[in-house]
Each structure stands twice: as structure tokens, then as C-alpha cells.
Amino acid sequence: MGNRNNLAMLAVLYGSAFVAAFNENTINVALISIMGEFAVDANTAQWLVTGYMIVTAIVVTVSAFLTKRLRLRTLFLTAAGFLTLGLVAAMLAPTWPLFLAARLVQAVGTGIFIPVMMSTVLAVAPRTRMGTYLSIGGCMITFGPAFAPVVSGLMVTTLGWRSIFLPPAALIVVLAFLGVALIRNIAEPEKIKLDGISVVLSAVGLTSFAFGLSLVMTSPAVAAAAIALGLVVMGVFVMRQGRIPNPLLNLEPMCNRLFAPMCALVVVAMMTTFSMSMLLPLYFEGALGTTALAAGALLLAPILVNAVTSLVGGRIMDKRGSWPLLPAGFAVITVGQLAVCLCAPALSLAGVLVASVIVYAGVGLALSPSQTAGLQTLSPEQNPHGVTILNTFIQIAAAVGPSLFIGVLSSVAGSVEAAGTAAALAQAEGFSVAVAAACAIAAAGTLTALALCPQAPTSRRGANDWRADGGSSGRWWHCRRDGYLRQHDAHPRPCGHSSTSPDLRFGI
């Protein structure tokens, strides 16, 4: 397939990732209206986000099987069908259970779109520009949330909350038609079987764990039991993957000494961005009394800054590697969230907004480079499994973050209001405490990045750090600094991966 055809296909897949991310966040500014329509509280309403992310995570764990079993074109059109069906059903759902079910159907499409985009990028993008191509994908996933609050706020204000599903429905129909013309298959399907028991274990484990986190502040005993059950079931899931011939989730990349910690950093970054995208509209509308449109517009600046810093982070990652990019990114997140905590109780719109811009800028510097740093340590054969693991962790973070932080916000706000504080101030206090919890997690991410990044492979080495190591397959070099085998072209920098071995080998 020619380069132009690859670019056209990637453009459609980038667009589908944009719509998937747009749809993930389109519900946030409408939560207040939806809670009023169906007479549900914030803890119940957050399952529109948490449940969505759990289903997405389950589908993502199946994505490695799907990409092997089905052709790319078939998989893309199937995802488009699920997303369109769920969007139409949500517009028409008359009751809360049906509306929640429609939202979960949408999640199936999202769970397919994003990993398919990333897997295709890894398959067709030039190895020496992998960071840039993955960052473009990250920008699409970021631009979706950037525009979703504004568009959704406008739709809620002018046409009612059900109209928020019209824009993503229209976009995905257009992309489906483009996909028919431009999406081409890049590999032949394999005849492998899906392990249904693993699917059930992942569903039960993730749901139980997220449910427990949502009750941490209100029902500690029930929360502890649910979290324990979730961890046990997920432990059984992990053990089963090592004992069956066709695991649902191949966990071999987790044995890599650098890939596993990078997954943890991705989780921290994603918990930050998804949680802030839910917490901020609740603060703007609940504490400051803004309209849904205003709340969405206020989110535009932070998330657009995030998109810009994502591109900058990808470029820096390609040129200089993960040090000091990742520690700096997580430090910026920590500082920004600390500033949010200090400004929120005073009902300072300007202070919270500026601090949020800082938080999202840090996420842009940290998220895609964390993914790239992890994937660069894997062989081509392990890359699809690495993508699946990363995307699974991303969706778990997106499910766990809102459950935990919305639970904290609701509990603290309820307690403060019961003590006689005004509702707006109580909401602000709950928001501040929830962000403080997120800040502590970001600080842990900063320390982890500081400890790990000096060990990570970087894209530039000094001339004295390399010695030749000939071989029949080409010209190989051994890095004295970290022991990895890498193949070079005429330039003094390593190219992409080329084979599997205990020492990572890199080639064009």
C-alpha cells in the first residue's frame, strides 16, 4: 500500500478516534440536566461515564483478538454500526435503564475505534517518526474532549440535552462512508477462538472494582468487599491468561522492566484528564452557577492547550527521549492540581481556570510520550499486545478515576452541606478535596517518572556509547550505557524495532 493510501486511511482512523473521544466526554456538561430528567443523583449519574469506560475497557481487552480474527475494514464498519445504534437509541430512550443501556452500546464502538487506530499506526507508520504519529493520534483523542463540552453545552442550551448525540452520529456516518472507500485490510485474519471465560472475568472484575471505588466515602464496608472481589477476579483473569493457548490479553509485555512502569504512568495521566473533564463541569455549574454552554466553553482552553502540548511532547520524545520530558510533565500536573485545590474553595473562576490549563498542559507532555516510551521497548511481535494492554489500562483509568473522585466529591459536599454550609460552597469544598486526591496520585507519578526515565532508552546517544556488533542480518550496535542491541542507519541515532530477543534490537 502506498504512502498516500496509508495517510488517507490513517486520516479516517484518526477521525474515528476523534469521534470516539468526543462521545466519551459529550455527556459531561449534560449530567445536571440528565440527573433532573431521570431523577437520579450524582453517584448514579456518573455510571454513564464509569459504565461506559468499563464496557470500553472490556472491548479493548478483546481488541487484540478482534484485530487478528477480523479484517480491518470489517472491524471499522462494525464499530461504526455499534456507535451509531447507541447514539440513536440514547436520543429516543424514555427511561433511565434504557438510556444507560444505549450509552453502553456506544461504548462498544469506542472500545474498537481507539485500539484499531493505534495498532494501524504501529503497522504502517515510519519507525523513526513513531512518536509523532502516536502523538497525532493522541491529539485526536484530546481534540474530541476539547470540542465536546462546547458543542454539547450549545446543544443542551438551545435544543435540549438529548440533542448532544446528533453531532457524533452525523460525524460517524460520514466517516463510515469514507471508510468504505479508504480503509484497506493490512493483514489476513487468523482462525483463533475467543475465550469466553476470560471475557466474563474481565467484566466482573472491572465492574466490581469500579463499583467499590464509587462507594469508598459513603459505604466503606461494601466498598472494601467490592474492591476485594474485583481484585481477586482480576487476579484469576491474569492467571488464566498464562495458562490458555490463545489468551484474551497477552501479558508477556508486562514482564518488560520498563513497559510495566510506563503503563502505570499512562494510568496516572488518564485518571487526571478524564477525572478533571468530569469534575470541572460539576464545579462550574454546581458551585459557580454557570450554564452548560459556559461550562463547556470554559473547558475549551485547557483541553486545546493539552492538544498543543501533546504535539510538542511527541516531537521532544522523537528527538530527545523521555528524560526530562516525563518527570517535567507529571510535575506540571501536580503543581496545577495543587493550585486548583487552593483556588476552588474561594469560588475563583479565573484561578481554577488558569490552574486547569496548567494541569492539562502537563497531561499533554506526559501521556503520549509515556505510551511511546513503553511501546519502544517492545518487539514488533509484542507491539499489538502492548497496544491492547495500554488501551486497557487507559480505559480502566477512565473508569476508576471518575468513580473514585466523584465519590469523594459527593461525600464531602454532602457532609459539608449537612453541617449548614451553602450548597455552592459545599460543592466547591467537595471538588477541592477530590482534586487534592488526584494531586497526590500525580505526585506519585512524578516520583515514578524521576526514578524510571534515566533508565529508559533515549533517541540520542553519544558516539562513545556504541560499539559495532556484526551479524548476518545487518549492522548491529551495542549500547554500553544500557545494554540494548540497536541497528543504525547512516545517522547517529537508533531506528525502530526489528526483532525479538532478551536485548531489544532496533532496525528500520
DSSP 28: G
Question: Angle of helix 3-25 relative to helix 130-159, nearest 10 degrees?
Answer: 40
Element spanning 479, H or E: strand 474-479
Give 501's contacts (C-beta < 8 A, 6+ positions apart).
379, 485
SS3 labels along 33-48: HHHHHHCCCHHHHCHH
Query: Cell 487507559 appears where?
Result: 394
The pLDDT of residue 461 = 40
The pLDDT of residue 3 = 65
Instruction: Kindly compute the dihedral angle of the four CA atoms of residues 263, 269, 274, 280, in this order, to the nearest 10 degrees.
Output: 160
- Other Cβ atoms within 10 Å of 263 Cβ, number: 22
Q: Locate 395 and state its grid cell.
A: 480505559
Q: Which positions of the chain have pLDDT values less than 70?
A: 1-5, 125-132, 134-135, 138, 142, 145-146, 187, 189, 214, 216-218, 318, 321-322, 380-381, 399, 403, 453-508
The pLDDT of residue 453 = 64
The pLDDT of residue 208 = 84
- In this prediction the pTM is 0.67
Distance (Å, whole) CA 249 – CA 198: 9
The pLDDT of residue 99 = 92
CB 228 within 8 A of CB 234: no
The pLDDT of residue 214 = 66
The pLDDT of residue 85 = 93
> Count of alpha carbons within 13 Å of 347, Cβ hemisphere only?
12
The pLDDT of residue 127 = 64
Peptide bond into 457 cis (omega under 30): no
Percent of the chain with pLDDT over 70: 81
The pLDDT of residue 189 = 67
Distance (Å, whole) CA 506 – CA 127: 9
CB 246 within 8 A of CB 195: yes
Helix (H, G, I), strand (E, B) or coil at 385: helix
